[in-house]
Protein backbone atom coordinates (compact mmCIF):
# COMPACT_ATOMS: atom_id res chain seq x y z
CA UNK A 1 0.00 0.00 0.00
CA UNK A 2 1.55 3.28 -1.03
CA UNK A 3 1.46 6.25 1.27
CA UNK A 4 -0.54 9.13 -0.11
CA UNK A 5 1.11 12.48 -0.61
CA UNK A 6 -0.75 15.35 0.97
CA UNK A 7 -4.26 15.13 -0.40
CA UNK A 8 -5.20 18.25 -2.32
CA UNK A 9 -8.90 17.54 -2.34
CA UNK A 10 -10.38 16.80 1.04
CA UNK A 11 -14.05 17.38 1.51
CA UNK A 12 -14.85 16.78 5.14
CA UNK A 13 -18.19 17.77 6.48
CA UNK A 14 -18.32 17.48 10.22
CA UNK A 15 -21.80 18.69 10.85
CA UNK A 16 -22.35 16.24 13.67
CA UNK A 17 -23.06 18.90 16.26
CA UNK A 18 -25.50 20.67 13.99
CA UNK A 19 -27.03 17.39 12.80
CA UNK A 20 -27.46 16.15 16.36
CA UNK A 21 -29.29 19.36 17.24
CA UNK A 22 -31.54 19.15 14.19
CA UNK A 23 -34.28 16.62 13.68
CA UNK A 24 -33.35 13.28 12.12
CA UNK A 25 -34.25 12.54 8.52
CA UNK A 26 -36.49 9.69 9.57
CA UNK A 27 -36.93 7.36 12.52
CA UNK A 28 -34.64 4.77 10.92
CA UNK A 29 -31.63 7.11 10.81
CA UNK A 30 -29.07 6.07 13.37
CA UNK A 31 -26.61 8.37 15.04
CA UNK A 32 -24.07 5.54 14.59
CA UNK A 33 -24.18 5.89 10.82
CA UNK A 34 -20.74 5.42 9.28
CA UNK A 35 -19.13 8.12 7.15
CA UNK A 36 -19.09 7.81 3.39
CA UNK A 37 -15.50 7.80 2.17
CA UNK A 38 -14.36 7.58 -1.42
CA UNK A 39 -10.68 7.70 -2.12
CA UNK A 40 -9.01 7.73 -5.50
CA UNK A 41 -5.46 6.61 -4.67
CA UNK A 42 -4.18 7.10 -8.20
CA UNK A 43 -5.23 10.76 -8.21
CA UNK A 44 -4.86 11.30 -4.46
CA UNK A 45 -8.32 12.77 -3.91
CA UNK A 46 -10.73 11.91 -1.18
CA UNK A 47 -14.24 12.79 -0.07
CA UNK A 48 -15.33 12.09 3.49
CA UNK A 49 -18.93 12.88 4.32
CA UNK A 50 -19.92 12.64 7.97
CA UNK A 51 -23.38 14.19 7.75
CA UNK A 52 -25.93 11.99 9.50
CA UNK A 53 -28.48 10.65 7.06
CA UNK A 54 -26.35 10.80 3.93
CA UNK A 55 -25.87 7.01 3.80
CA UNK A 56 -29.63 6.54 3.99
CA UNK A 57 -30.16 9.14 1.28
CA UNK A 58 -27.50 7.60 -0.96
CA UNK A 59 -28.92 4.09 -0.61
CA UNK A 60 -32.62 4.87 -0.84
CA UNK A 61 -33.37 8.18 -2.56
CA UNK A 62 -30.43 9.02 -4.82
CA UNK A 63 -30.50 8.03 -8.47
CA UNK A 64 -28.32 4.98 -9.14
CA UNK A 65 -24.77 5.29 -10.41
CA UNK A 66 -24.55 5.87 -14.17
CA UNK A 67 -27.98 7.56 -14.21
CA UNK A 68 -26.21 10.86 -14.93
CA UNK A 69 -23.23 11.32 -17.22
CA UNK A 70 -19.94 12.41 -15.71
CA UNK A 71 -20.08 15.66 -17.70
CA UNK A 72 -23.51 16.45 -16.20
CA UNK A 73 -22.24 15.76 -12.67
CA UNK A 74 -19.15 17.90 -13.26
CA UNK A 75 -21.21 20.82 -14.57
CA UNK A 76 -23.55 20.72 -11.57
CA UNK A 77 -20.70 20.30 -9.11
CA UNK A 78 -18.80 23.29 -10.55
CA UNK A 79 -21.78 25.57 -10.00
CA UNK A 80 -22.67 24.21 -6.60
CA UNK A 81 -19.05 24.29 -5.37
CA UNK A 82 -18.83 27.96 -6.35
CA UNK A 83 -21.95 28.79 -4.33
CA UNK A 84 -20.87 26.57 -1.41
CA UNK A 85 -17.41 28.17 -1.24
CA UNK A 86 -18.82 31.70 -1.34
CA UNK A 87 -21.05 30.80 1.62
CA UNK A 88 -18.24 29.03 3.49
CA UNK A 89 -16.15 32.19 3.19
CA UNK A 90 -18.94 34.31 4.68
CA UNK A 91 -19.65 32.73 8.09
CA UNK A 92 -21.35 35.89 9.38
CA UNK A 93 -23.95 35.66 6.62
CA UNK A 94 -24.29 31.85 6.27
CA UNK A 95 -24.47 29.13 8.91
CA UNK A 96 -20.87 28.08 9.62
CA UNK A 97 -22.15 24.78 11.05
CA UNK A 98 -23.33 23.83 7.56
CA UNK A 99 -20.70 25.54 5.40
CA UNK A 100 -17.69 24.46 7.44
CA UNK A 101 -15.11 23.98 4.71
CA UNK A 102 -14.19 25.42 1.36
CA UNK A 103 -14.14 22.71 -1.32
CA UNK A 104 -11.06 22.62 -3.53
CA UNK A 105 -12.73 21.47 -6.75
CA UNK A 106 -10.79 22.46 -9.86
CA UNK A 107 -12.31 22.34 -13.35
CA UNK A 108 -9.20 21.10 -15.11
CA UNK A 109 -8.85 17.98 -12.94
CA UNK A 110 -10.69 14.78 -13.82
CA UNK A 111 -11.80 13.49 -10.41
CA UNK A 112 -13.56 10.52 -11.96
CA UNK A 113 -17.16 9.42 -11.87
CA UNK A 114 -17.35 8.21 -8.26
CA UNK A 115 -16.01 11.40 -6.68
CA UNK A 116 -18.34 13.52 -8.82
CA UNK A 117 -21.29 11.23 -8.10
CA UNK A 118 -20.83 11.43 -4.32
CA UNK A 119 -20.25 15.18 -4.32
CA UNK A 120 -23.31 15.76 -6.52
CA UNK A 121 -25.49 13.61 -4.28
CA UNK A 122 -24.19 15.28 -1.14
CA UNK A 123 -25.22 18.63 -2.57
CA UNK A 124 -28.72 17.28 -3.32
CA UNK A 125 -28.91 15.80 0.17
CA UNK A 126 -27.75 19.01 1.86
CA UNK A 127 -30.17 21.17 -0.14
CA UNK A 128 -33.04 19.04 1.11
CA UNK A 129 -31.89 18.51 4.68
CA UNK A 130 -30.98 22.14 5.34
CA UNK A 131 -33.67 23.66 3.08
CA UNK A 132 -31.11 25.58 1.06
CA UNK A 133 -30.81 26.26 -2.64
CA UNK A 134 -27.35 26.24 -4.17
CA UNK A 135 -28.73 27.35 -7.54
CA UNK A 136 -29.56 25.58 -10.76
CA UNK A 137 -32.67 23.84 -9.50
CA UNK A 138 -33.72 21.90 -6.47
CA UNK A 139 -34.08 18.16 -6.20
CA UNK A 140 -37.54 16.65 -6.47
CA UNK A 141 -36.87 14.18 -3.66
CA UNK A 142 -37.80 15.68 -0.32
CA UNK A 143 -36.40 14.42 2.95
CA UNK A 144 -38.91 14.55 5.75
How many angstroms separate the CA atoms of 92 and 74, rounded?
29
**Of 4-8, 24-28, 86-90, where does the model show the most confidence?**
86-90
Given this model, what pLDDT does residue 94 score?
96
Domain boundaries, the chain: 9-129
Pick 21 or 74 by higher pLDDT: 74
On average, the pLDDT of the chain sits at 75
Given this model, what pLDDT does residue 67 score?
97
Given this model, what pLDDT does residue 101 score?
87
CB-side neighbour CA atoms (13 Å) of 16: 10
Mean pLDDT of 53-67: 94
Pick 41 or 82 by higher pLDDT: 82
Q: Which of the four pLDDT bands, split at 50, 70 and 90, describes residue 43?
A: low
- CA angle (104, 78, 15) in 5-degree steps: 55
Amino acid sequence: MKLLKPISFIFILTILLYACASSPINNKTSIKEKPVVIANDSLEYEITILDIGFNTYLNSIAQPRNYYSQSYLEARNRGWVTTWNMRAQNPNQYNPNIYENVIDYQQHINYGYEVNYLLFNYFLFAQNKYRMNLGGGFTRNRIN
